[in-house]
Every structure is written in C-alpha cells, then in structure tokens.
Amino acid sequence: MKITKEMLEEKKAWPEDIEWFIERFGNEAEHEDILKKLYEEKNCYGWASWLFENFKLSGELKVFGINGVLWQHGHFIDGKLNGEYKTFYENEKLRIHSYYIDGRLSGEYKIFDDNENLRAHFHYKDGKLVKENLINKDI
C-alpha cells in the first residue's frame, strides 16, 4: 500500500514522524519500505504499530526502544494483532507473552519480571478474561 504525507496528516500522525517520513521518502512510499526503514534504523517507538492499525496493514511488527533493543514483536492482519505477541524489558528479557485473534486477547497471557520469572498467568477468550493466577501480587 502506498502511503503519502497527506495520508499521514489526515490520520494525525505525530509531526516528527511525518518529518522523518519526508526526510527518507519525500511525499510517498510503499508501506513495506517504510517498515523496513524503521526496522533498519531501530527507530520505531510505536510508530510501526500505529501504521499497522491506522492503515489496516498486514505483516510483522517490531518496535524498538531508544537503545535499539526490541520492545515488541507480533503480527498484524488487516490492522489487528493476530498470533503470538511479546514485549521485552530493556535488558532484553521477556516481559509479556500473549496471543491475539483478530485484535482480541485469546489464550495465554503471561507476565514476567525482569529476570523472566513468571509473575502472573491469565487466560483470555475472545478478549475476555476467563482465568487468572497471580503468582506475585507485587507486579
């Protein structure tokens, strides 16, 4: 899908994201090229997920933090999270491990501390919590 500067403005993208876009692509670019450049520069800060959601895109999501460490990883289909989704601490340890179907939590949702010790375990169905097991209430 081709994305233009005007489309970003219509969707109310952050001004600094639009500036980043213009500096690298001019007034338009294919969404695959935008995501590739974001991932190469490890400069997502959540903008990749914003693009997927606002433009109903499909593909792999990678969001990197300021220090270049992967913060989020998952997959989108038509702008909605689908399948395994993970978030990470700055020390690159797993923080959350979950599953989505059509943008809704479905299945296991696990929260870990920054040493990857399990602290909470939930189970969702169609976006609704059906079971919880708090291992440590000081999460």
* pLDDT tens-digit readout, 91-128: 999 999 999 999 999 999 999 999 999 999 999 999 99
Range of the domain at 15: 1-57
Is the residue at 72 inside a domain?
Answer: no
Identify whether residues 44 and 92 lie together within a single domain.
no
Is the residue at 24 inside a domain?
Answer: yes
Q: For residue 139, what pLDDT is reported?
A: 47
User: Model-level pTM?
Assistant: 0.79
Is the residue at 87 inside a domain?
Answer: yes
Is the residue at 88 inside a domain?
Answer: yes
DSSP state letters, the chain = -EEEHHHHHHTT--HHHHHHHHHHHTTEEEHHHHHHHHHHHT--TTHHHHHHHHTT--EEEEEE-TTS-EEEEEEEETTEE-EEEEEE-TTS-EEEEEEEETTEEEEEEEEE-TT--EEEEEEEETTEEEEEEES-S--
Is the residue at 74 inside a domain?
Answer: no
State how many domains the chain has. 2
Is the residue at 40 inside a domain?
Answer: yes
Is the residue at 66 inside a domain?
Answer: no
